Chains A and B, each alone.
Chain A
Amino acid sequence: MSAAGQAKEDFTFTPENLSRAKTIIAKYPEGRQQSAVLPLLDLAQRQNANWLPRAAMDYVAALLDMPPMRVYEVATFYTMFNLAPVGANLVQVCRTTPCWLRGSDDITRTCCQKLGVGLGETTADGKFTVKEVECLGACANAPMVQINDDFYEDLTPESMAKLIDDLAEGRKPSVGSQTGRRGSCAQDGATTLRGKTS
């Protein structure tokens, strides 16, 4: 991650995103527009292939009338903002204790070996970036990964490999548990409230 942010000439919101941005800004009281910095950076990142160039941060700063430095501080603080280009599928492998105990190391190894990249790297075809992150809050269904906006849970090296294959070939794999578990109920099926199911 370059400290200076990656260079990109300029950035402006598309007309749709600009009107969305205005709606977001209007949610905050007069004089408190700077509170919109997080949703606006997110909007900018989504518009710009899932990463934030410095130009986008500067643009958001100008839009909210705040010093660019204050925007850089926010954008660099949150790991969800990517400050350099990432692949079309950003694979974030959770490695915090529950996932780790349930084999997240194997998941990471599978991703890296299958895609031929190291952590934080992007495949040559620009389709995948792999990185490890801390707890994503789906501990009951560990191990899990987040790919762009979706969680894929209850992974094994095999299901992870299949997931990558599906995504590589443009298929849309089913989101959530890969073993067919509903929500976060116990692995062998529900143990409570069984009589009340409608």
Chain B
Amino acid sequence: MPKLIINGHEIEVAAGASVLQACEQMGIEVPHFCYHDKLSVPASCRMCLVEVEKTPKPVASCGLPAADGMVVHTDSPMVLKARRGVMELLLINHPLDCPICDQGGECDLQDQAVAYGSDHSRYAEAKRAVADKELGPIVKTVMTRCIHCTRCVRFADEIAGTPELGGVFRGEHLEIGNFGGGPLTSELSGNLVDVCPVGALTSKPYAFRARPWELQKTESVDVMDAVGCNIRIDTRGNEVMRILPRLNDDINEAWINDKTRHACDGLKLQRLDQPYMRVDGKLRPASWPEAFAAIAARLKTASAERVAALAGDLVDCESMFALKQLMLALEVPHLDCRQDGATYDMTARAGYIFNSGIAGIEQADAILLIGTNPRHEGTLVNARIRKRWLRGGLRVASIGAAADLTYPHRRIGGSPSAIRDLINGRDAFAKTLLAAKNPMVIVGAGALARPDGAALQALARELAEKFNMVRPDWNGFNVLQRAASRVGGLDIGFVPQAYGLGTRGILEAASSGKMEVVYLLGADEIDMDRLGNAFVIYQGHHGDKGAHRADVILPGAAYTEKDGIYVNTEGRPQLAKQATFPPGEAREDWKIIRALSETVGKTLPYDTLTQLRARLIEACPVIGAMGRLTKAEWKPFGHAGQVAVQPFEPVIANFYMTDPISRVSPTMAKCVTEIQRRDVPEAAE
């Protein structure tokens, strides 16, 4: 570990760290543009110059490895003069349009120009102008502002794996862009706006809508998939203006996908802002007491055997827990939080979570994907696999539908028989798995949500054990869940109770008239036609499929409007925080269930969220480990049985629209028309 002296203080840093990182470790700010923590280092902007004793000239600290005995100055007159020079050069062609620039107030160049810029320009010549580029519905460009740091090019190359950006022409004529190549096809393109240190790439949906200093910032968690990306919700008044990523190296690093970032404009549309009741076949506005009374009346006449409850994909743990308790009090056995109809075994927690953790992907050296397209089902999991692949020495194979995953992988087969072949050593990848130090299997909803999911789960466990994926120091058996509420729901036990029916059974019974009341807690992804004549209660925040079928609508809160615990696919509980208030008469979901419980005469024993959480954590201690991973005990799970021969199907047909929020989002609609429609003719070629 090299020891060096920076501004007179000695510091020891990790081997391979750069001088810039050493400075940051000491809390010394070094201005920079091209350098980014998570990207390769080109050392091209020259803003991070420092003085190193015994070198004749200032050195770019981002590209200089810290070495033993180095004596570095970051505040000498030489450094100041050098940085001023660099800043003057950068500003030669940069327009003076900060007042009309969306980056204003959160611009690296603006901030650093305050520290190192001159009060006037010595440049009298005409500034160069660069034509703007069309990069699709997410990224807006004003290329004249570009300072050629190439962060966007490196991001697209390295993280996104869609090398569509580059620098064309040269010298004075150099332009960053896509050379007229159409919209960016990455699901991570919104991050380009974050990495751009100036206002060249800004957010198109957010263009000219707010200034950073007007915004309230709330640190929360994303619910668009089961990855549980850490986000910051920026609000003005009661409106979510934008969503940005929050650094969490265990989960999403510095990135989020475009749905996480931009589906938030769907929070303002088609909202359920007051209770509704179906009267004479039509939904009419109602008051809360009326709605509750109608539900209580139905629940009183229906026998518990003929009542069911389903929880959707965006539901927080607290409301699922409260609803489960209410249903148990009513002696209702038919509960399920797996609205995709999955029937896999959930008695062992290790059987339904991502045991290695997302960061654990970086230790893997062979990965087998079964029935999953991680690019769509957990974009940041896919980005992590790509990151691992870039480092070299990773082999990936997939059993499932063919897909472009942004890294090379061998498709062994499309149907479950390929798993058996692998276990029997009939495929070359078996050797790779046997030789691997940390082999990993990732099982997706494409496998587990099938009717034979439990058998496939057992088969995957057999494979994991056969290839030594489960050891005291390593658990490479991973399930990539695709719904934010899923692991929490399974942990709470929002699943069929003794003799109860699961999603498939509930729908079966309802369509044949054997189910009188169905309670949908934000469940929209089921076939509503199969609910038959059942009395449907829909509690949720959007007027989506569930609300259209409902007989009573209880308006709930979306994820930005309530405090809630979500457990991600790794089994990591995280707190989502309230950033705005639910619209109109809508309320937090647990409160609705608590109020309803009183009306039906089974009052739940808590009056505050804190009391509810205490009960929840008492019943389910793993959820108490906020932000941490709890190692799941490895024990047999899954049910050995017949596996069907059909090939695995992709579970997400349209990445941009997977839930009630993204389905109404205008930005997501634009992504579908401008990005996906463009893909179709290409695929046909």
Contacts and interface: CB of A to CB of B under 8 A. Distances in A.
Interface of A: 1, 3-5, 67-70, 72-73, 76-77
A73 B180 contact: no
Interface of B: 131, 163-170, 175, 177-181
B131 A3 contact: yes
B163 A76 contact: no
Contacts of A4: 179-180
A133 to B, nearest CB: 14
A73 B166 contact: yes
For B164, B179, B180, the residue with the greatest tally of chain A CB atoms inside 10 Å of its CB is B179
For A1, A68, A69, A72, the residue with the greatest tally of chain B CB atoms inside 10 Å of its CB is A69
A73 B165 CA distance: 10
B178 A69 contact: yes
A69 B165 CA distance: 7
For A1, A4, A70, A76, the residue with the greatest tally of chain B CB atoms inside 10 Å of its CB is A76
Contacts of A3: 131, 168, 175, 177, 179-180
Given A3-B180, A4-B179, A4-B180, A72 B163 contact: no
Given A72-B168, A76-B169, A76-B170, A67 B179 contact: no
A5 B180 CA distance: 8
B168 A73 contact: yes
12 contacts: A1-B169, A3-B179, A5-B180, A67-B164, A69-B163, A69-B178, A69-B179, A69-B181, A73-B168, A76-B169, A76-B170, A76-B179
A4 B179 CA distance: 5
Interface residue SS majority, chain A? helix
A72 B179 contact: yes
Ranked 9 nearest A-B pairs via Cβ: A4-B180, A67-B163, A76-B168, A69-B166, A72-B179, A73-B166, A76-B169, A77-B170, A69-B163
Contacts of B177: 3
Nearest to A7: B180
A72 B131 contact: no
Contacts of A76: 168-170, 179
Interface residue SS majority, chain B? loop
A73 B164 CA distance: 11
Contacts of B179: 3-5, 69, 72, 76
A70 B179 CA distance: 11
Contacts of A73: 166-168
Contacts of B167: 73
B180 A77 contact: no
Contacts of A69: 163-166, 178-179, 181
Nearest to A66: B163
A192 B60 CA distance: 50
A162 B165 CA distance: 47
A55 to B, nearest CB: 13
Given A4-B180, A5-B180, A72 B166 contact: yes
A1 B180 CA distance: 13
Contacts of B181: 68-69
B161 to A, nearest CB: 10
A80 to B, nearest CB: 12
A176 B627 CA distance: 76
B148 to A, nearest CB: 13
A170 to B, nearest CB: 35
Contacts of B178: 69
For B131, B165, B168, the residue with the greatest tally of chain A CB atoms inside 10 Å of its CB is B168
Contact of A77 (B131, B163, B164, B169): B169
Given A69-B166, A76-B169, 4 more contacts: A1-B169, A3-B131, A3-B168, A67-B164
Nearest to A73: B166
Nearest to B153: A69
A86 to B, nearest CB: 17
A69 B180 CA distance: 10
A73 B180 CA distance: 13
Nearest to B156: A69
Contacts of B180: 3-5
A72 B177 CA distance: 11
A53 to B, nearest CB: 13
Contacts of B166: 69-70, 72-73
A79 B342 CA distance: 60
A131 to B, nearest CB: 15
A4 B168 CA distance: 10
Contacts of B163: 67, 69-70
A68 B182 CA distance: 13
A81 to B, nearest CB: 11
Nearest to A4: B180
Nearest to B167: A73
A77 B174 CA distance: 9
Nearest to A57: B179
A5 B168 CA distance: 11
A44 B553 CA distance: 66
A5 B181 CA distance: 10
A5 B166 CA distance: 14
Contacts of A77: 168-170
A77 B177 CA distance: 14
Nearest to B171: A77
Nearest to A1: B169
A64 B141 CA distance: 31
Contacts of B165: 69
